[in-house]
Structure 1
């Protein structure tokens, strides 16, 4: 007997061994048989009240140098099935999709017509081979408050510098939804002293990006996290190239827009995204909203594709003193269209919580201890007018705003002021910054200058420098937050511990220790 607990603990493959119970596709029978095609696992994403996206990508050799997973150059029929139980005795939807070589044999199934706020199980089949099973959920019906949201989020998974144990620990919490906030892969070539060897060199073309995604997806800890809950994702810089801004690359490239188009194509092929996010060359419309009944809206932003070039130096990641350019009123990190979209979403929101999932530090942060001040130009400190407009939209529309952030490879929590240039400015929202999955190695709980940084930035309330993720539980009255940390990722299977816990109360845009 396979129950829910054994499914989540690793029984998914056993549960999936049963036959699908739908007629095999005749075209498949006429082709030479394929075996072991589900080495990249399964995933679901983008839940709404009636359905979700199902994803898989066929591969018999995930690290094949051409990025095509060792698959033949022909279409392959893939059957899929959704059931109410993990034994698949109550099948409610099924069908067939074609995995095509021009899409790296990836499959995106947009399932609809299901019950709102419900748990489902899914799997795929090629010929006589059945995939592992996955668990997923639909969002609660619009306007309902009956189901809380158990959300986990993380960012920055560099394959070479550590093991993906944080994904496993996150899966063990059985979240309702996972938000990944950028740098799902790193485009870099080989490091001198890697913890794990990656396949391929620096990613420049479609084959390179496909190969990097495939090696990530073949990781069992990542597969476990994808199989346990639906995901929603946004990219950051390393999904394409370090420190790119708009149409400007960090370094002179092979034509950058050509490189970006290749990265976007591979990103879509390997993520459980809807057709609305299918790239058009070097453009990918990523910003969007997910609704979880009346409990929460999750607004997902793109802070890379539409931003102005970095101020003061023109180069990303520079920490330096103020320059007038930071404060220019027309500077934008979101672009005019996305900014107007987000303002409208906040204006019309009827949810208790408005979560803003994005990539880079939003709070003001003076990174220079002692005399003088120094700001990073890559985060919203380089786009002060954009930040002030967002803070005003949250405050003026009386939203319970919580910003979810990745990128900086450490845990942070603090309060967003309406205007940091005004010492009396009130807090209008909270920012929760997740650490990385592996990037920056093991880290440490506290760095030598941590206490001084917190003292000089009193709106920042918490720091932890280990790897891990954040989990949160949202109800109509309160958001409970745990920062989950691991002592090491340079060796596998470290336990997770809670390095900080906070509560955010409805109507009070401040952090309270839990």
Structure 2
């Protein structure tokens, strides 16, 4: 059967699932349930973490914080009309977790779509559509979108409206789901004052999740999610905030709790003692292994910060010898080892999904190049270790965000020597709505770094990747008008990567 088919499960498989899930004894009260006029499900629904036999389903009940526990029923069906329910269950939504629900149906058939919904207090949620990953023996193609940086007050989410309509298998979000800042001057939309407490973080997620285009993108496709800095604090590193605030550990713990509450990730990920491991890997059959990385929680602090604060700076190697320290790490030693071990697989492609640009982007006069210390340019030894672990592995693709710029680049062990072989290809997506750097600055960086094959910072959007056993095609999509929620989108540039030979080529 075509793994993309919406056909019903085979009778034997269907009976097995119905029996194991108890679906014959449980039926969502569709006749009695009413439309959500109460706004109970005002933040929509979402799914994520697709495995061959399971997914994670998410919603949040918009109820008074003083309310007691609420029973939330969920069901998964093989058809949009819910004639064939294949899994169901009940979760308890509680105030301690902002009444967020993480349901984890299992025993599903691999490589096919499913539909899901929730019910609570006699109210039905919107219906979402999800998909399981192909089985380990399947070489099914993969079509996904990568996106990042969706500051709410600087633009609308026309890019998400477009993503919702695309025939995708997966969305990979690469960080900055929210921003901690207060509403900026001249804002397109309001978000309120700077985030300071757990309740503030919860309110900020609710503001973002209220957007209909973002809700549509979540409801249309399963997501894989990593964070960057603005889910917590600009440029934070480990337990060090940019302003060196003494209560940063508490602040970060609140941020991690709110992130877990609002993402379609497993219940078992609930933070403990302010720690939340998010790095993970997912296999798309035999075609691709997706490595999700955490570039914030375990990193060494940035080298040579500005006086009186932590975080990023722009420095030269001469002024900042610390930059070249071979022991400094962006991922932390344990995550570096975990990634290297996971690259030893026989998949056709290795997708390394992390939050920022990996290609060298430093620019300036010879011998006086300026390096931005918050990104991989600030951790050159760690970058080389990672690229050495990638070299020779099947189909290495690095995916990034953060810099609000569409980039296609070739990755080399030595960026200064173009005669050295390319070891991986990189696609870094522009922002969904956050403002980008001046195009003139980006052009100067590209001129100094010929391994950067394309760079556009004056447009918002996302990147769509179509991957099969031989090639990956990347379409760099941009929004015509980022302040128009109904703006059209178009492909600004396209590139192709051969599975047997790293390096980006114009499509």
TM superposition score normalised by structure 2: 0.90
Structure 1 CA distance, aligned partners of 2:446 and 2:259? 37
Secondary structure at the residue paired with 2:193?
Answer: coil
Deviation sequence 1:243-286 (CA, Å, 0-9, x none): 10111110032500100000000000000001342211321101
- Where structure 2 has 5 or more consecutive residues not aligned to the other structure, the ranges are 7-24
- 1:464·1:499 contact (CA, 8 Å) conserved in 2? no
Aligned to 1:14: none
Q: Which of 98, 108, 112 is the aligned partner of 2:92?
A: 98
Query: What corresponds to 2:468 in structure 1?
Result: 475
CA 1:165–1:23 in 2, change beyond 3 Å: closer, same or farther? closer
Tell me what 1:47 maps to. 50
The residue number in structure 2 matching 1:399 is 394
Match in the other structure for 1:298: 290
What does residue 22 of structure 2 align with? none
Q: Is 1:176 equivalent to 2:172 in the alignment? A: no
- For 2:120, the equivalent position in structure 1 comes to 126
1:245 aligns with 2:237: yes
SS at match of 2:497: strand
Q: Which one of 374, 380, 389 corresponds to residue 376 of structure 2? A: 380
Tell me the equivalent position of 1:38: 41
Distance 1:39 1:215 in 2: 11
Please give the root-mean-square deviation of Cα atoms over the aligned residues, in Å: 2.3
| 2:492 alignment partner, SS class | strand
Secondary structure in 1 aligned to 2:40? coil
Match of 2:254 in 1: 262
Q: Distance in 1 between matches of 2:167 and 2:201?
A: 30
Query: Aligned match of 1:463 in 440, 448, 455?
Result: 455
Report the secondary structure of 1:211's partner residue.
Answer: helix
Mapped partners of 1:248, 1:275: distance in 2:
27
Normalized against structure 1, the TM-score is what? 0.88
- Structure 2 match to 1:22: 27
CA separation of 1:142/1:23 partners in 2, compared to 1, >3 Å: closer, same or farther?
closer
After the TM superposition, which residues 182-331 of structure 1 pair with which residues of structure 2 at under 5 Å, given as runs?
182-198=175-191, 200-253=192-245, 255-313=247-305, 315-322=310-317, 323-331=320-328
CA deviation digits over 1:368-422, x for unaligned, max 9? 37884111111111111111111111114x3311110010011111011013355
- 1:205 and 1:262 in contact (8 A); partners too: yes
- 1:23 is displaced (CA, Å) by 6.2
**Alpha-carbon deviations, 1:188-222, whole Å to 9, x = none?**
11212211011x42111100000000111111010
Matched, 1:415 2:414: no
Q: Which secondary structure state, in structure 2, belongs to the residue aligned with residue 509 of structure 1?
A: strand
Structure 1 alignment gaps of length 5 or more: 6-19, 61-69
Give the secondary structure class of the aligned counterpart of 1:430. strand
**Hey, what's the Cα distance between the residues in 2 that align with 1:486 and 1:371?**
38
Q: Is the 8 A contact 1:161 1:195 kept in 2?
A: yes
Which of the numbers 105, 127, 130 marks the counterpart of 1:136? 130
Q: Is the 8 A contact 2:358 2:383 kept in 1?
A: yes
CA contact (8 A) 1:369 1:452 kept: no
Tell me the equivalent position of 1:110: 104
Check if 1:85 corresponds to 2:82: no
Evaluate the alpha carbon distance shift between residue 202 and residue 451 of structure 1 in structure 2; reply closer, same or farther with a 3 A threshold: closer
| Separation in 1, partners of 2:146, 2:152 | 18
Following superposition of structure 1 onto structure 2, how do residues 418-457 of structure 1 map, counting pairs within 5 Å?
A: 418-422=413-417, 424-440=419-435, 447-457=439-449
Q: C-alpha distance in 1, partners of 2:178/2:380?
A: 29
2:482 corresponds to: 489
CA contact (8 A) 1:41 1:217 kept: yes
Q: State the aligned residue count.
A: 476
Change (3 A) 1:285 1:467: same
Asked if 1:344 is matched to 2:341, the reply is yes
C-alpha offsets along residues 336-378 of structure 1, whole Å, 9 cap, x if unaligned? 100000000012x121110001012211112437884111111
Q: CA offsets, 1:159-198, max 9 Å, x none?
A: 1111111111111113110011000000011212211011
Q: CA deviation at 1:316?
A: 3.0
Aligned 8 A contact 1:369 1:449 in 2: no
Contact residue 161 and residue 214 of structure 2 kept, 8 A: yes
Aligned to 1:357: 353
For 2:330, what is the secondary structure of its paired residue? coil
Match of 1:73 in 2: 67
